[in-house]
């Protein structure tokens, strides 16, 4: 991916706040659940025409989006920043709050994702520091 394309995807969080970007987040989430041996969160399709459905929390989705944003930043900067990141949690919270407005408020499968805490009114509420 070019730096220009990475900037385009990073703009307004397109990687997580668009149906087209969701495809990548779903693929990355599927890899994460497979790696963590949480395959029960992946519902494979029963028919060839169906798509796999991932059962995630808003937090899972936001975490993957946070990692995608970091990868895009690396592409834009042309180098990895490496080392500990003291601001990652703040960026994660910002991602959760941003995605709260975009993602469904139900737990039914939609575009390959079922947000299991979709109907929870407190799913994006964090205690004040």
pLDDT in tens, 4-38: 888 888 876 777 777 777 788 888 888 999 999 99
Q: In angstroms, how far is the first alpha carbon of the chain from the final one?
A: 37
Residue 68 above 90 pLDDT? no
Task: Evaluate whether 42 touches 34 at the Cβ level (below 8 Å).
Answer: yes
**C-alpha pair distances (Å), 121 with each of 9, 55, 85:** 29, 18, 30
For the chain, domain boundaries? 3-115
pTM (two decimals):
0.83
Of 46, 32, 57, 39, whose CA–CA distance to 113 is shortest? 57
What pLDDT is stored for residue 83 in this prediction? 66
Residue 44 above 90 pLDDT? no
């Amino acid at each position: 991916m070019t730096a220009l394309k990475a900037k385009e995807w990073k703009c307004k969080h397109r990687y997580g706040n668009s149906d087209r970007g969701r495809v990548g987040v779903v693929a990355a989430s599927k890899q994460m659940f497979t790696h963590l041996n949480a395959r029960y969160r992946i519902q494979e399709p029963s028919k060839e025409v169906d798509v796999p459905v991932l059962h995630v929390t808003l937090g899972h989705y936001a975490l993957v989006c946070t990692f995608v944003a970091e990868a895009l930043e690396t592409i834009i900067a042309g180098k990895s920043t490496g080392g500990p990141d003291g601001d990652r949690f703040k960026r994660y919270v910002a991602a959760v709050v941003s995605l709260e407005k975009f993602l469904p408020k139900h737990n039914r499968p939609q575009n390959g994702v079922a947000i299991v805490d979709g109907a929870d009114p407190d799913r994006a509420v964090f205690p004040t520091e």
